[in-house]
C-alpha cells in the first residue's frame, strides 16, 4: 500500500519547484482556501520570472502563518503579529530582495495592527498578502477583528457585537500604494493582483477572502468551504477603484472585490536617501542595503 | 577581523555612557538600529541616528519596542549587525521577541539602560531590578548572556564585546547598564580601529541544498545561512529540528531547548568575565556589577583600613552566572556580600551557589539612587565578625 | 441573442487540449476542481485514497481544454494539467 502511495505522490506537480515538497501534505483542513492562495503566489512568482533566490517570505502565527514553511524560499516563521516588523528589518538590510509578508487577518490586523498601519505609513517596499477567513482558525474559531457583525465564533456564541475592520480602507488610509481584494475563487485575478503588488515599489496590500470550513463555516452553519466558494461566486461584485467606504463586509453580504488603489509614492528608502542627500550633499552615498560596504 | 576605521572615532572623548555605548556599537560594525524612545536610554538611539547616514547605516524609529526587537532580528538575518536599546517598560515588551531571537539563534545586541520599576517606576533614576527579567523574562527555558558596564569607557568596550559574543554564539546578547552609567560623563578613550578585534559572522561553507540553518556542530553553534543566495532555508519560532522545520513533540523539544542552553553552559568559562581584587585570602568578598561595583569601593577601602580582609568581585558578565567561582569561594571565605540596586535578584543566585558554606549578605534597595558607602561598610563589618 | 462576433480567423483557431494529472493521495476531496471545471470534466470518484477522501476522476477527459483552473483552485496541489501534444481540435462555430 505505502509503496503505491509513494509512487503516486512522486508525480511532478508544476509548483513542486517552489514548494517544500518534504513538508507537503500541508496541515490545512479540507476545503481551506489557503492552499489556493499559495498557488496564486507561486504562479505569480513564476509568471514574473523572478529569481526565487531573491524572494523572502515572512509569516506570523496562525493557519496562514504556516505558509512560510511550505514555500521553498528564504522563509521566516516569526511570532504572532510580528511578521511585518521582522520584514521591515529584513527589507532594510536587503532592499534588493522582494519581501513578502503572508499573514492572516487576526495576526496582521489584531495583534499586529499597529505594525501594519505604521509600515504602510512609512511606505516600506513590501507586499502584504492577508488571507482573511473572518476568524481565528488555528486556535479554534475565536472572533477576529474582521468577523462580520452578528457572525458567530467560539468566543461570540451569541453573535459578534463588534464592527469589523474594512481592511482595504484601513490599508489605503494608512498609506498603502496598492490595495486589492479578491476571493480565493478569483484565483486568476488574484494572481494578477499579487504580481502587480510585488512589482509595485512601496507598501502593497492584497486581501484574500478565503473559506474556513472547519470553523467559520461550521460555527455559522454555512456548509463547507465549497459552499463558501459558491457564495463568493454568487455574491462577489467586481468594482475596480470602488469608494473604499463602501467595501465593508457584513455577514453574508455582497463582497466588493477589485483593485482599489494603485498610486505612486516615494518609498521609505527613497525618502531616507532624499533626506540624507539634502543634509549631506555629495558626502552621502545613497543607501543600497547590506553592511554599508556596497 | 579588525574594525573598519571609517566607523571608529579614535581619540579621547568626553562622553556619557549612552553615547559611548553607541560608539562601541558603531565601532563593532552595527549598521541597523531600530528603537523606540524611552528614558533613560534614548541618547543611544539619538547618537546612532546622527552617525549612521555617512557610514551606510540605517536608524529607524519603530512604532514600539515589539517592532524594534523584531526589526533587528529581521535585519540580522539580512546579514547586517543590528541593535536596539530600551529601558524597563520597553524591555518588558521586547521580551516576547527576545525569545524569538534566542529560538532563531539570531545575533544582535539589546541594551537595557535600567531605571527603577516596576511599571513606569522611576524613568529618570537608576535601578538594577531587571536582572532577573533579563535572565527569565521571556517564556520558556533558555540561557542568556548579559553584560554590565560600570563606566562610559566600559560601555564602549562592552558594546564591542557584546557584538562579538553575539556573533560567536549566534544569539542576542544583553547589555544591562543603568541610568547612572548611561548619564555619567567621563573620559572615554576610543582606540585605533586596528586595536579593535571583531568576530565575523560564521556562514556555512556548504552549497545551497546541502546546508541547514541549525546543523549539529561540535561547539553547538551552527553556521548561519545567508539570505538571497539560494539556500531557501526556513526558520521558525516553533520547536524545530536541524532543518528549521517545526517538529511538535517532546523529543524534539528536548533536543532543541537543550542545545540552546548547552550552547551557553558549555562555553560558560569562555563567556564569564570577572574582575577580582584581593580575593585570595579574603574573609569577606563583595560581589557586585555595573554601577554598584564602583560604589562599593570606598566602603571596601574603609573596611581594609579597619584591618578586615575584603576582596571584590566585579561581574562584567552577570549571566551566565559564575556558579563555579562562587561555589569555590564559598568554601574559603567567611561571607559573601552582594551589592545591587534591587531587593535581591542576583543575590539569590549567589546564595544558591554558596550552598550554605558561608554567610551571604545582601545590600540592596529599591533603586532610585546608588548605595551609600556607609550601608555597605556596615555590612562588611558585620560580615567579618 | 448573441453579443459577440464570430472571429474572422475562426478556421485557423484551435482549441487546446489538456491532459489531466490527479495526485490522488494528496487530495482532500474539497470538490473545488469538480465544481469549477468549465467543461464538467471531473467528478468525485467512489474510490478512497489512503486518507479516506474521494479524489476526483476525469469522466470526460477529452473535453479538457487545459485551462488550468482546477490546478489553480486546488488547495492541496493534487491536480494539474499539461497541454496535450496532439489532438487539438478545430473551433466549431
Q: Are residues B172 and B306 in the same domain?
A: no
- Radius of gyration for the alpha carbons in chain C, expressed in angstroms and rounded: 15
In this predicted structure, the answer to whether residue B2 has a pLDDT above a threshold of 60 is: yes
CA distance A256 to chain B (A): 31
What band does C63 get if pLDDT is binned at 50, 70 and 90?
A: very high
Residue B247 belongs to a domain: no
Q: Are residues B33 and B160 in the same domain?
A: yes
What band does B91 get if pLDDT is binned at 50, 70 and 90?
A: very high
CA distance C74 to chain A (A): 6
pLDDT value of position C93: 47
Q: Does A160 touch chain C (CB under 8 A)?
A: no
CA distance B183 to chain A (A): 29
C neighbour chains, 3+ CB pairs within 8 Å: A
Q: Are residues B164 and B289 in the same domain?
A: no
In this predicted structure, the answer to whether residue C90 has a pLDDT above a threshold of 60 is: no
Residue B235 belongs to a domain: no
Determine the average pLDDT of the residues in B18-36: 98
pLDDT value of position A9: 46
What band does B121 get if pLDDT is binned at 50, 70 and 90?
A: very high
Chain A CB contacts of C52 below 8 Å: none
The fraction of chain A above a pLDDT of 70, given in percent, is 95
The rounded mean pLDDT for chain B is: 97
In this predicted structure, the answer to whether residue C16 has a pLDDT above a threshold of 80 is: yes
pLDDT value of position A31: 94
pLDDT value of position C88: 55
Q: Are residues B22 and B163 in the same domain?
A: yes
C-alpha angle B65-B70-B74 in degrees, rounded to nearest 5: 150
In this predicted structure, the answer to whether residue C43 has a pLDDT above a threshold of 80 is: yes
Q: Do B228 and A76 touch (CB under 8 A)?
A: no
User: What are the tens digits of pLDDT across the range B327-340?
Assistant: 999 999 999 999 99
Q: Are residues B161 and B295 in the same domain?
A: no
Residue B30 belongs to a domain: yes
Domain boundary among B172, B195, B218: B195
Give me the domain span that covers residue B355: 275-384
Q: What are phi and psi of B58, to 5 degrees?
A: -125, 125
Chain A CB contacts of C53 below 8 Å: 30
Q: Are residues B35 and B161 in the same domain?
A: yes
Q: Quick check: B382 and B301 in contact, CB under 8 A? A: no
Tally of domains in chain B: 2
Domain boundary among B165, B195, B225: B195
A274: nearest CA in chain B? B53
Q: Does C92 touch chain A (CB under 8 A)?
A: no
User: What are the tens digits of pLDDT across the range B192-243?
Assistant: 999 999 999 999 999 999 999 999 999 999 999 999 999 999 999 999 999 9
Distance of CA B287 to the CA centre of its chain: 17
A neighbour chains, 3+ CB pairs within 8 Å: B, C
Question: Does chain C touch chain B (at least 3 C-beta pairs within 8 Å)?
Answer: no
Determine the average pLDDT of the residues in A42-68: 96
In this predicted structure, the answer to whether residue C6 has a pLDDT above a threshold of 90 is: no
- CATH number of residue B81's parent domain: 3.40.50.970
How crowded is residue B195: how many other Cβ atoms within 10 Å of its Cβ?
11
User: What are the tens digits of pLDDT across the range A234-278?
Assistant: 999 999 999 999 999 999 999 999 999 999 999 999 999 999 999
Whether domain A15-264 has CATH 3.40.50.1820: no
Q: Are residues B22 and B134 in the same domain?
A: yes
Q: Does B234 touch chain A (CB under 8 A)?
A: yes
pLDDT value of position A6: 46
Q: Do C32 and A224 touch (CB under 8 A)?
A: no
**CB interface of B with A, residues 90-119, below 8 Å:** 96-97, 99-100, 104
The fraction of chain B above a pLDDT of 90, given in percent, is 100
What band does C8 get if pLDDT is binned at 50, 70 and 90?
A: confident
Q: Does C53 touch chain A (CB under 8 A)?
A: yes
pLDDT value of position A288: 84
Q: Are residues B286 and B376 in the same domain?
A: yes
B222, three cell numbers:
551552527
What band does A8 get if pLDDT is binned at 50, 70 and 90?
A: very low
What band does A12 get if pLDDT is binned at 50, 70 and 90?
A: confident
Check if the interface score ipTM surpasses 0.95: yes
What band does C86 get if pLDDT is binned at 50, 70 and 90?
A: low
User: What are the tens digits of pLDDT across the range B164-192?
Assistant: 999 999 999 999 999 999 999 999 999 99
pLDDT value of position A292: 45
Determine the average pLDDT of the residues in B96-118: 98
pLDDT value of position A293: 44
B312, three cell numbers:
571584590
User: Mapping DSSP to helix (H, G, I), strand (E, B) and coil, where does residue A186 land?
Assistant: coil
In this predicted structure, the answer to whether residue A58 has a pLDDT above a threshold of 90 is: yes
B137, three cell numbers:
523574562
Q: Quick check: B184 and B43 in contact, CB under 8 A? A: no
Domain boundary among B195, B227, B244: B195
Q: Does C57 touch chain A (CB under 8 A)?
A: no
Residue B261 belongs to a domain: no
> What secondary structure, in 3-state letters, does chain B show?
CECCHHHCCCEEEEEEHHHHHHHHHHHCCCCEEEECCCCCCHHHHHHHHHHCHHHCCEEEECCCHHHHHHHHHHHHHCCCCEEEEECHHHHHHHHHHHHHHHHCCCCEEEEEEEEECCCCCEEEEECCCCHHHHHHCCCCCCCCCEECCCCHHHHHHHHHHHHHHHHHHCCEEEEEEEHHHHCCEEEEEECCHHHCECCCCCECCCCCCCCCCCCCCCCCCCCECCCCCCCCCEEECCCECCCCCECCCHHHHHHHHHHHHHHHHCCHHHHCCEEEECCCCCCEEEEECCCHHHHHHHHHHHHHHCCCCEEEEEECEEECCCHHHHHHHHCCCCEEEEEECCCCCHHHHHHHHHCCCCEEEEEECCCCCCCCHHHHHHHHHHHHC
pLDDT value of position C91: 56
Q: Which of A10, A17, A31 is most worth mutating to test chain C (most C CB atoms within 10 A of its CB)?
A: A31
User: What are the tens digits of pLDDT across the range A274-294?
Assistant: 999 999 999 999 998 765 443
pLDDT value of position A5: 46
Q: Do C75 and A43 touch (CB under 8 A)?
A: no
pLDDT value of position C87: 54
- Could you tell me which CATH class the domain C21-82 is placed in? alpha beta
In this predicted structure, the answer to whether residue B366 has a pLDDT above a threshold of 80 is: yes
pLDDT value of position B321: 98
User: What are the tens digits of pLDDT across the range B266-295?
Assistant: 999 999 999 999 999 999 999 999 999 999
Amino acid at each position: 500500500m505505502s509503496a503505491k502511495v509513494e509512487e503516486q505522490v512522486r508525480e511532478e506537480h508544476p509548483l513542486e519547484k517552489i514548494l517544500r515538497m518534504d513538508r507537503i501534505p500541508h496541515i490545512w483542513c479540507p476545503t481551506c482556501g489557503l492552499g489556493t492562495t499559495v498557488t496564486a503566489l507561486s504562479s505569480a512568482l513564476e509568471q514574473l520570472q523572478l529569481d526565487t533566490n531573491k524572494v523572502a517570505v515572512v509569516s506570523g502565527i496562525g493557519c496562514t502563518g504556516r505558509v512560510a514553511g511550505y514555500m521553498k524560499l528564504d522563509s521566516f516563521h516569526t511570532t504572532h503579529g510580528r511578521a511585518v516588523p521582522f520584514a521591515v528589518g529584513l527589507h532594510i538590510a536587503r532592499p534588493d530582495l522582494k519581501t513578502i509578508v503572508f499573514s492572516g487577518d487576526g495576526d496582521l490586523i489584531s495583534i499586529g495592527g499597529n505594525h501594519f498601519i505604521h509600515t504602510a505609513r512609512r511606505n516600506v517596499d513590501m507586499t502584504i498578502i492577508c488571507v482573511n477567513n473572518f476568524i481565528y482558525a488555528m486556535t479554534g474559531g475565536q472572533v477576529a477583528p474582521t468577523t462580520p457583525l452578528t457572525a458567530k465564533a467560539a468566543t461570540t456564541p451569541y453573535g459578534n457585537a463588534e464592527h469589523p475592520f474594512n481592511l482595504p480602507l484601513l490599508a489605503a488610509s494608512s498609506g498603502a500604494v496598492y490595495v486589492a481584494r479578491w476571493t480565493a475563487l478569483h484565483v486568476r485575478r488574484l494572481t494578477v493582483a499579487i504580481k502587480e503588488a510585488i512589482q509595485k515599489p512601496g507598501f502593497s496590500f492584497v486581501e484574500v477572502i478565503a473559506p474556513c470550513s472547519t470553523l467559520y463555516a461550521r460555527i455559522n452553519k454555512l456548509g463547507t468551504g465549497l459552499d463558501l466558494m459558491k457564495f463568493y461566486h454568487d455574491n462577489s461584485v467586481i468594482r475596480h477603484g470602488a469608494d473604499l467606504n463602501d467595501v465593508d463586509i457584513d455577514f453574508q453580504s455582497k463582497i466588493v472585490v477589485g483593485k482599489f488603489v494603485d498610486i505612486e509614492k516615494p518609498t521609505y528608502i527613497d525618502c531616507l536617501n532624499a533626506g540624507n542627500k539634502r543634509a549631506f550633499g555629495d558626502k552621502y552615498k545613497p543607501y543600497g542595503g547590506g553592511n554599508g560596504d556596497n | 577581523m579588525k574594525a573598519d576605521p571609517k566607523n571608529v572615532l579614535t581619540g579621547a572623548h568626553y562622553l556619557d555612557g549612552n553615547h559611548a555605548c553607541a560608539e562601541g556599537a558603531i565601532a563593532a560594525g552595527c549598521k541597523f538600529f531600530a528603537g523606540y524612545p524611552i528614558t533613560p536610554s534614548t541618547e543611544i538611539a539619538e547618537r546612532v541616528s546622527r552617525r549612521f547616514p555617512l557610514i551606510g547605516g540605517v536608524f529607524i524609529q519603530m512604532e514600539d519596542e515589539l517592532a524594534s526587537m523584531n526589526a533587528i532580528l529581521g535585519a540580522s538575518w539580512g546579514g547586517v549587525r543590528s541593535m536596539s536599546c530600551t529601558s524597563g517598560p520597553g524591555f518588558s515588551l521586547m521580551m516576547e521577541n527576545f525569545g524569538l531571537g534566542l529560538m532563531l539563534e539570531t545575533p544582535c545586541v539589546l541594551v537595557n539602560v535600567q531605571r527603577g520599576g516596576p511599571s513606569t517606576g522611576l524613568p529618570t533614576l537608576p535601578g538594577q531590578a531587571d536582572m532577573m527579567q533579563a535572565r527569565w523574562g521571556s517564556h520558556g527555558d533558555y540561557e542568556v548572556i548579559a553584560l554590565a558596564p560600570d563606566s562610559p569607557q566600559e560601555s564602549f568596550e562592552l558594546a564591542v564585546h557584546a557584538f562579538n559574543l553575539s556573533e560567536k554564539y549566534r544569539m542576542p546578547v544583553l547589555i544591562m547598564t543603568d541610568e547612572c552609567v548611561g548619564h555619567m560623563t567621563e573620559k572615554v578613550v576610543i582606540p585605533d580601529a586596528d586595536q579593535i578585534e571583531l568576530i565575523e559572522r560564521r556562514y556555512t561553507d556548504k552549497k545551497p541544498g546541502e546546508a541547514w540553518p541549525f546543523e549539529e556542530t561540535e561547539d553547538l553553534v551552527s553556521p548561519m545561512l545567508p539570505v538571497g543566495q539560494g539556500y531557501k532555508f526556513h526558520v521558525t519560532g516553533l520547536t524545530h529540528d536541524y532543518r528549521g522545520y517545526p517538529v511538535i513533540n517532546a523529543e524534539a523539544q528536548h533536543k532543541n531547548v537543550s542545545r540552546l542552553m548547552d550552547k551557553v553552559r558549555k562555553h560558560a568559562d569562555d563567556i564569564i568575565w570577572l574582575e577580582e581584587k584581593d580575593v585570595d585570602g579574603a574573609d569577606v568578598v563583595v560581589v557586585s556589577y555595573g554601577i554598584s561595583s564602583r560604589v562599593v569601593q570606598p566602603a571596601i577601602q574603609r573596611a581594609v583600613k579597619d584591618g578586615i580582609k575584603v576582596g571584590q568581585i566585579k561581574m562584567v558578565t552577570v549571566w551566565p552566572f559564575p556558579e563555579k567561582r562562587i561555589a569555590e569561594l564559598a568554601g574559603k571565605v567567611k561571607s559573601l556580600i552582594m551589592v545591587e540596586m534591587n531587593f535581591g535578584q542576583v543575590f539569590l543566585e549567589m546564595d544558591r551557589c554558596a550552598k550554605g558554606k558561608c554567610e551571604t549578605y545582601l545590600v540592596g534597595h529599591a533603586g532610585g539612587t546608588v548605595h551609600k558607602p556607609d550601608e555597605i561598610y556596615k555590612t562588611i563589618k558585620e560580615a567579618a565578625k | 441573442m448573441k453579443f459577440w462576433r464570430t472571429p474572422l480567423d475562426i478556421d485557423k483557431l484551435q482549441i487546446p487540449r489538456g491532459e489531466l494529472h490527479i495526485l490522488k493521495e494528496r487530495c482532500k476531496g474539497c470538490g473545488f476542481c469538480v465544481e469549477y471545471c468549465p467543461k464538467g470534466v471531473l467528478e468525485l470518484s467512489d474510490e478512497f485514497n489512503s486518507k479516506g477522501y474521494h479524489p476526483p476522476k476525469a469522466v470526460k477527459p477529452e473535453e479538457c481544454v487545459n485551462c488550468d483552473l482546477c490546478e489553480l483552485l486546488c488547495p492541496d496541489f493534487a491536480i494539474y494539467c499539461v497541454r496535450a501534444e496532439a489532438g487539438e481540435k478545430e473551433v466549431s462555430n
